[in-house]
Amino acid sequence: MSFKASLQISRPQFDIHVKIAASAGEVTAIFGPSGCGKTSLLRAVAGLDSKATGTVEMNGEIWQNHTMFRPTHQRDIGFVFQEASLLPHLNVMQNIEYASKRQAKHKKRISLEHVINLLELSPLLKQSVENLSGGEKQRVCLARAIATSPALLLLDEPLAAVDTVHKQEILHYIQSLKNDFNIPMLYVSHAINEVAQLSDRLLLMEKGQVRAEGLTADLLSQTNLPFVAQQDAAAVFDTVVRKQEAHYGLSYLTFDSGQFIVTESDLAVQQRVRVQVLARDVSITLSQPAQSSILNIFPVTIESITPQGIAKQLLRLRIGQQILLSRITSKSLEDLSLRVGSQVFAQVKAVSLLN
């Protein structure tokens, strides 16, 4: 399944001009500050803005162009909004069934039982939706959206109304949907941690325009983009579990140019794991330490040096085909005589598992 659109939307403050695409089993995050046009774009894709012009195409089927416009109910989509718009007079199961009934039988590819089990909703099926927590309501909304067997899933800041404790839980369920159903997803957010954890591709919007678009791991480490200016600037790696040392509680995660050793024993060999390394958790040494408690040390080349105020410097480091970030003091930069092209060693003090 593949989706692509090229849309123009007129707004009082600015016009929106966006080209966007997504493939089967892929999450494309639409990221940017509040008011940049993210939700307007998603509404246009869904057919909720009849004044939007351009083309929308799903699996070669035209939903919109200069001569025709399919209304929302004729577009094969599932939509999860910021607020859980559930029908209060129906219980959980009835809400899910209500959505399922709107899809033609010959287009139903996903069983309700599968959705319910995946989202762990069985204990809630007979409950009134008004008695559910925010996280539970969003799980029902996810089930309702998937129950229609959509060709495309749209998620408009689905965690905005969920408390911090349950956000990670919902992200886990969305990841499960991605893995199980192979549906392309467009995920709107202004929370970079959600984007880093979930998305394969990233579209960065600014005042209605696409400032950057590409693989999430690539864009998060681009020094000309705003992500690296944040306190939690980080590099993201997609890895595979190669082996475990159970007696130490360690797992070895390989990527294109090396491996991370992490203190996590609950991973399965060959499992795919996305990890994050914060720039502030990477230090630099000129020679490889002969004896160190740090397990993850890599030979790297300094690709760029970006001042961040007077006291800090951001280093973009290359490990083969991968990029690592390091934030060090300006004094350390000077004391070590670091330059673009310098070959040094990066000491990674912490690695976080994202999924």
Q: Convert the pLDDT of each residue in 290-338 to its tens digit.
A: 889 999 999 999 999 999 999 999 999 999 999 999 999 999 999 999 9
Classify the C-alpha dihedral 111-117-120-123 as positive or negative: positive
pLDDT in tens, 254-302: 999 899 999 987 899 999 999 999 999 999 999 999 889 999 999 999 9
Query: How much is the pLDDT for 103?
Result: 67
Give CA–CA dist 186/188, Å, rounded: 7
Q: Is the pLDDT of residue 102 over 90?
A: no
User: Tell me: the pLDDT tens digits for 221-251?
Assistant: 999 999 999 889 999 999 999 999 999 999 9
Whole-prediction pTM: 0.90
Quick one: pLDDT at residue 215? 95
| 177-192: average pLDDT | 91
Task: Note the pLDDT of residue 105.
Answer: 66
Q: How many CB atoms lie within 10 A of CB 161?
A: 14
CB 37 within 8 A of CB 12: no
Distance CA 170, CA 118 (A): 12
The full set of domains in the chain, from first to last, is: 2-219 (3.40.50.300), 234-353 (2.40.50.100)
Distance between CA 236 and CA 294 in Å, rounded?
19
- Total residues found in the chain within this entry: 355
Residue 256 phi/psi, 5-degree rounding, is -50, -35
Q: How far apart are CA 49 and CA 184, in angstroms?
A: 21
Can you tell me the mean pLDDT for 192-209? 94
Please give the sequence-ordered ranges of beta strands (E in DSSP) within 207-320, or none if there are none. 209-215, 234-245, 250-255, 258-262, 272-278, 282-285, 296-308, 312-319
Q: How far is CA 212 from CA 19, 36, 186, 205, 225, in A?
A: 11, 14, 16, 7, 8
User: How many Å apart are CA 43 and CA 330, to the nearest integer?
Assistant: 46
Q: Tens of pLDDT along 106-151? A: 667 788 889 999 999 999 999 999 999 888 999 999 999 998 889 9
Q: State the chain's mean pLDDT as an integer.
A: 92
24-36 confidence digits (pLDDT tens):
999 999 999 989 9
Mean pLDDT of 191-211: 94
Residue 13 neighbours by CB under 8 Å, 6+ apart: 35, 207
Q: Are 22 and 184 in contact (CB under 8 A)?
A: yes
- Which H or E element spans position 150? none
Distances (CA, A) of 305 to 219, 257, 299, 300, 312: 17, 22, 17, 14, 10
Please provide the DSSP assignment of 255-284 as one string: ETTEEEEES--SPPTT-EEEEEEEGGGEEE
